[in-house]
Structure formats: C-alpha cells, structure tokens
Amino acid sequence: MARKYYGVIPPIITPVDGNENVDEDGFRALLRHCADHGIQGMFVAGTNGETMGLTQEQRDRAIKIALDELGGRIPVMAGVMDSGSRRVIDNIKRLEQMGGTCAVVTSIFYARHTSQDETVRHFENIIRETAIDLILYNIPPFTGMKLSAATMIKIGAMDRVAGIKDSSGDFTEFQKVLRVFAADPDFSVLQGITAHAAASFLQGACGYVPSIAPLFPELFVRLYEAGAARDYQRTMELNALVAETSEILSMSKNATAANKFALSLLGFTNKRVIRPQDMTTAEEEKAITAKVEALREKLRQAGVS
C-alpha cells in the first residue's frame, strides 16, 4: 500500500435544499472546483459536512455524489462515524457497495467511555468485517474520547489502517505519532487543526484537513507544497495568510454556518445549515463578505490566487 492520502483534504460542506436533501448540482460544482484548483483529496460526510444531521439516505447520497464526481481524479475519504461497531460496519458495507475505498472512523460517541481499549476493539471489530482503507479520526470534542498517542500508534499499526487525522489539538501527542509514522511511505499522518499545519509539515506530516480551503484553494495547496519542501521562510509567509482565512470561521457563533456562507460566495451552493442550528445573521454575512474580499485582494498582491 503506497501513501494515497496527502496534501490538502478539505472536510467538505454538504449543501442542502429547503427539505434538507443534498443539493446535487451545487455539490458537484463545488467538488469540481476543488479538484480543478489542485486540491489533492476530499473528506465527505465529516463534522463540517454535518453528517450526523443528515438522514442516513442523504448521508449516503452525499458520499455517492462525491465518489461519482471525483472518482479517478482525487481520493475520497468518507465519514462512517457512528455510536457502535455494528453501526459503523454497516455504514462501511454500504460505502463498499458504492465503490468507496476509504472510510474515516472515530471512536464511538454518545456513550460512557471507560477506556482507550474500547477504540482499539472498535477497529479490531471493523477490520474483521470490512475490506477497504481506514483512517483513524481523533476528534475528542465530538466523541468525548481523547485518544492518546499510544492508542493512535497501536491502531495505526493495524492492517488496512492507512492513516490518522488528529483534530485533538494536542500537538505534543501529535508529534509522538509523527515520530513513529512520518517516514512510512504507506501511512498518512494528517493534521486536523489548521493552526498547527505549518509546524506539522516541517516535522513530516503529509497533509491537513482545512475546512475553508475550497474558498482559497491555491493558497492552501501552496502552503502544503512549501511545508513538504521544508521551505521554512515560504511556509511561514503562507501560514500567516492561512491563519487569516481561519478568522472567517469565528465571525459567526456557528462556525459551520460561517463556512457555508463564505463558500456560498463562490456561487455554487447556498448558505443553508441543517436545522436547528443557528444560521449567519445579516450583520455577520456583511462582515464575512468584506473579509473575503479583503483576503482575495491580499492574495492577489502576494501572487497567490
């Protein structure tokens, strides 16, 4: 198994219509935009994709659309997270039937976690009954379980675990994982916290998962390329710009709503979030629009557009 998952892999939004069904035309246009502008992979049905707010039918539909639109161009990582091993296995089996080749798996959630070992057992259960690549996803704010470096390393050594996406924000533990896997050409260590991406690349991480990347794809790709080349000065210059783009997500009390509105400015999708979440206000939208315009000008001046 050669390293398949690297570079910029955005956790793509799921655009929906007024009935909260996937907006297929808008979604396809957004996916094409990403691939056409150099993005190296796609993470569909993740947290930013509001996957747990979608019905199972619409979740599967979003995954199928992404596979159909991007298959053969860039790898598609599909979220299959759920509250128990059997439910995740069923999700993966449907993914396999759709032609998917990579499932993103978290610890279980909405449960009273008792040990790190339960997530190890979770992956053992999944591996016995499925056949595709697995990415371990450490995201404690949404699972209630913060995986230790030791646990991530143990799971990472299992058959068909092709990588780790760490959104814990614990850079010390992340570095422990890097020291084990960074030189492994068959394994992907992905940084889930955009603010940690530059430092992660310079220490060997092979990619990151930034939610706002579809709005400024060239910038995010160039940061990855500079980091991968260990060009410290250029990495720091581009990282400062990336950090400024991340400010958009805090310009609404709902980061997903801010992201969806900002991406709607591309003209492909609408700003709608799944009920009962807060949407952006008119005042927030005005501020976000001004911020996006200012950033576009700054990127033009920096020769990144």
Using CA atoms, how far apart are residues 54 and 70, in angstroms rounded to an integer? 21
DSSP conformation class of 69: H
| pLDDT over 90 at 1, yes or no | no
What letter represents residue 277's amino acid? Answer: Q
pLDDT tens digits, one per residue of 73-110: 999 999 999 999 999 999 999 999 999 999 999 999 99
DSSP character string of 163-216: EEEE-S--HHHHHHHHHHHTT-TT-EEEE--GGGHHHHHHTT--EE--TTGGGS
Instruction: Report yes or no on whether pTM surpasses 0.95.
Output: yes
Provide, rounded to the nearest whole percent, the portion of the chain with pLDDT above 70.
99
- Rounded to 10 deg, the angle between the 56-70 and 24-36 helix axes is 40
- Around Cβ 265, how many Cβ atoms within 10 Å? 16
CATH number of 7-229: 3.20.20.70
Cα–Cα–Cα angle for 62, 255, 196, nearest 5°?
95
In 3D, which of 166, 151, 78, 85 has the Cα closest to residue 123?
85
Q: Could you tell me which residues come within 8 angstroms of residue 214 by beta carbon, excluding any fewer than 6 positions away?
A: 10, 12, 30, 33, 34, 39, 263, 266
Q: Is the dihedral of CA 269, 274, 192, 118 positive or negative?
A: negative
Query: Mind listing the pLDDT tens digit for each residue in 178-228?
Result: 999 999 999 999 999 999 999 999 999 999 999 999 999 999 999 999 999
In eight-state DSSP terms, residue 235 is: H
Specify the pLDDT at position 2: 67
Exposure of 159 in the CB half-sphere (CA atoms within 13 A): 8
Intra-chain end-to-end CA distance of the chain, in Å: 34
Domain ranges for the chain, please list them.
7-229
Q: For residues 269-273, give the mean pLDDT.
A: 98
Give the model's confidence band at 305: pLDDT under 50 very low, under 70 low, under 90 confident, else very high.
Answer: confident
Q: How many residues does the chain have?
A: 305
